[in-house]
Amino acid sequence: MALPLTSDSNQHTLDLDRAHVFHSWSAQGSLKPLVIAGGLGTRVWDFEGTEYLDFSSQLVNVNIGHQHPAVIAAIKEQADLLTTIAPSTANLTRGEAAKRITDRAPDGFNKVFFTNGGADANENAIRMARLHTGRDKVLSTYRSYHGNTGAAIVATGDWRRMPNEYARGHVHFFGPYLYRSEFWATTPEQETERALHHLERVIQGEGAATIAAIMLETVPGTAGILVPPPGYLAGVRALCDRYGIVLILDEVMAGFGRTGRWFAFDGYDVVPDLITFAKGVNSGYVPAGGVVISDPIAADFDETVFPGGLTYSGHPLAMASIIGALDAMAGEGIVDNAARVGREAIGPGLANLADKHDVIGEVRGEGVFWAMELVADRATREPLPAATMGQIKAALVGRGLLPFVQDNRIHVVPPCTVTDDEVAEALAAYDAVFTTVQGGHA
Ligand code: PLP
């Protein structure tokens, strides 16, 4: 596909975009999106050769980096063989992709239901939990994002939540977040104990017999990379067991390498009943997601029809990209790299920045999944105002760094392939920009 490139391709792209593309989660009028023409590894660039270090991973997605040659080759090879086939067929590429995923899952997870992304994975997990239990309600936290479709957006707890009459039975509760504790806790132990007590009271208040599932991001991502305190997830598992509730762990953002582990929950003493995934499984090279299903829930549908499916579920190009991505991640030690870089470079680097800049209230995370919480006042923890966050974001982009900025936080979320030198480059950019922030203004 030879697109005509000219010296004004940047402007032409922007003109086309503003004339014809309706953007998600945006007021359309004042938009001036960044033009991106190509990428490789941790870098992307525009048509004029302006380069950016991608510390956003494009919505925390390209775990394997941009344009990994093995994934591109796998997609091309599949494209020559077969580009589309209905989900009802048996397809070798699909079977191999599913096996690679279940091989990484805990014992007792042997089936994968493929979707086109993360929201529809959660949508189908909710449906499975409701059919499995014969119950209705889904409990999820206020600080969560589960996707932008019917039940997933109602399960979402952040500012995007839409009370929506056709997705019934959603109830929200507070999860742990020690830095801004809802429970007046001052230690992780207190936060765990009180957050679990709160959840149990919500379960009892709603009536356990009405609750199909508790759906949690293992590490809430967009809401702030809220690493759960010790014992919390195991405690939720125990509550689910006590009250016969299905535990759905949403690993769409946290899964497949981001935390330095294949699944984020591998780092906690917990095994869910349903695992949802997307993003990192193939770094979004072709849209894909899915639900990894534990044996008892899968067995429900041995004789009964599972009422779900999409024309493109298990699409061959997506499946080939999953195989390419997971094999390259395993063969090249990419998940281990994420763990090491987090431990040796990002974590200590952010801690140094926090020592130097009062604007950083807290740093938290692991692997290539970190947040810096920016405050106007360290004592009161008052969030840095939105206008200042906007100035910080613009200053970082001006220095050639693509940041992930959400509310009063900068999420440090490069690809799992990031090098120590690239981390040093990003830290220098954050450092330079924070130096200009005085008394809450940039
Ligand atoms: N779940 C989590 C935890 C996410 O972070 C996201 C997207 O950011 C989704 C679900 C929705 O995924 P998608 O945008 O692929 O539908």
Residues 437, 407 contacting (CB under 8 angstroms): no
State in Å: Cα 380 to ligand 1 middle: 32
What confidence score (pLDDT) does residue 30 get? Answer: 87
Angle (CA) 195-201-206 rounded to 5° is 130
For the Cβ of 252 lying below 6 angstroms from any atom of ligand 1, the answer is yes
Cα separation, 381 vs 375, in Å, equals: 6
pLDDT band for 438, please (50, 70, 90 cuts).
low
Please name the amino acid found at residue 340.
R
DSSP 140-168: EESS----SSHHHHHH--STT----TTS-
Query: What residue's CA is closest to ligand 1, atom 5?
Result: 253
For the Cβ of 117 lying below 6 angstroms from any atom of ligand 1, the answer is yes
Atom of ligand 1 nearest to the CA of 117: 15
State in Å: Cα 103 to ligand 1 middle: 23
Phi, psi of 105 (to 5 degrees): -85, 165
Q: Is the pLDDT of residue 348 over 70?
A: yes
Cα separation, 442 vs 244, in Å, equals: 51
Of the listed ranges 26-40, 66-80, 149-163, the least confidently predicted one is: 149-163
Cα separation, 64 vs 334, in Å, equals: 7
Going by C-alpha positions, the residue among 349, 351, 342 that lies closest to residue 260 is 342
Q: Is the pLDDT of residue 160 over 80?
A: no
Between these two residues, 104 and 164, which has the higher pLDDT value?
Answer: 104
Q: What is the dihedral of CA 160, 161, 165, 171, to 10 degrees?
A: 170
Q: What is the mean pLDDT of residues 205-209?
A: 97
For the Cβ of 373 lying below 6 angstroms from any atom of ligand 1, the answer is no
Cα separation, 306 vs 311, in Å, equals: 15
Q: What is the dihedral of CA 324, 327, 333, 339, to 10 degrees?
A: 80
Cβ atoms within 10 Å, residue 334: 21
What confidence score (pLDDT) does residue 2 get? Answer: 54
What ipTM was assigned to the predicted interfaces of this complex?
A: 0.99
Q: Is the pLDDT of residue 149 over 90?
A: no
For the Cβ of 118 lying below 6 angstroms from any atom of ligand 1, the answer is yes
Atom of ligand 1 nearest to the CA of 278: 15
pLDDT in tens, 214-240: 999 999 999 999 999 999 999 999 999
> Could you give the 3-state DSSP secondary structure of residue 389?
helix
For the Cβ of 278 lying below 6 angstroms from any atom of ligand 1, the answer is yes
Counting Cα atoms < 13 Å in the Cβ hemisphere of 222 gives 20
Measured CA to CA in angstroms, residue 203 lies from 133, 173, 365 at distances of 15, 10, 29
Output the pTM of the full model. 0.96
For the Cβ of 123 lying below 6 angstroms from any atom of ligand 1, the answer is no
Please name the residues in contact with 364: beta carbons below 8 A apart, sequence gap of 6 or more.
179, 225, 226, 227, 370, 371, 373
Q: Is the pLDDT of residue 1 over 90?
A: no
What confidence score (pLDDT) does residue 35 get? Answer: 96
Instruction: Quote the tokens at residue 372.
Output: 């810096």
What confidence score (pLDDT) does residue 73 get? Answer: 98
For the Cβ of 386 lying below 6 angstroms from any atom of ligand 1, the answer is no
For the Cβ of 145 lying below 6 angstroms from any atom of ligand 1, the answer is yes
Residues 384, 374 contacting (CB under 8 angstroms): yes
State in Å: Cα 119 to ligand 1 middle: 6
Measured CA to CA in angstroms, residue 407 lies from 121, 224, 389, 410 at distances of 26, 9, 8, 8
pLDDT band for 89, please (50, 70, 90 cuts).
very high
For the Cβ of 193 lying below 6 angstroms from any atom of ligand 1, the answer is no
Instruction: Quote the tokens at residue 262.
Output: 């294949």
For the Cβ of 316 lying below 6 angstroms from any atom of ligand 1, the answer is no
Query: What residue's CA is closest to ligand 1, atom 13?
Result: 118
Name the average pLDDT for the chain: 95
Going by C-alpha positions, the residue among 254, 220, 216 that lies closest to residue 236 is 216
What confidence score (pLDDT) does residue 237 get? Answer: 98
Q: Which strand (E) or helix (H) includes residue 132?
A: helix 118-133
Q: Is the pLDDT of residue 439 over 60?
A: no
pLDDT band for 151, please (50, 70, 90 cuts).
confident
Instruction: Quote the tokens at residue 88.
Output: 């009802």
Atom of ligand 1 nearest to the CA of 222: 5
Go through the chain and tell me how many residues it has. Answer: 442
pLDDT band for 375, please (50, 70, 90 cuts).
very high
pLDDT in tens, 256-302: 999 999 999 999 989 999 999 999 999 999 999 999 999 999 999 99
Residues 221, 93 contacting (CB under 8 angstroms): no
Cα separation, 181 vs 174, in Å, equals: 9
For the Cβ of 250 lying below 6 angstroms from any atom of ligand 1, the answer is yes
What burial class does residue 202 get, using C-beta atoms within 10 Å of its C-beta: 0-12 exposed, 13-18 middle, 19+ buried? Answer: middle
Q: Is the pLDDT of residue 102 over 80?
A: yes
Q: Which strand (E) or helix (H) includes residue 20?
A: helix 9-20
What confidence score (pLDDT) does residue 320 get? Answer: 98
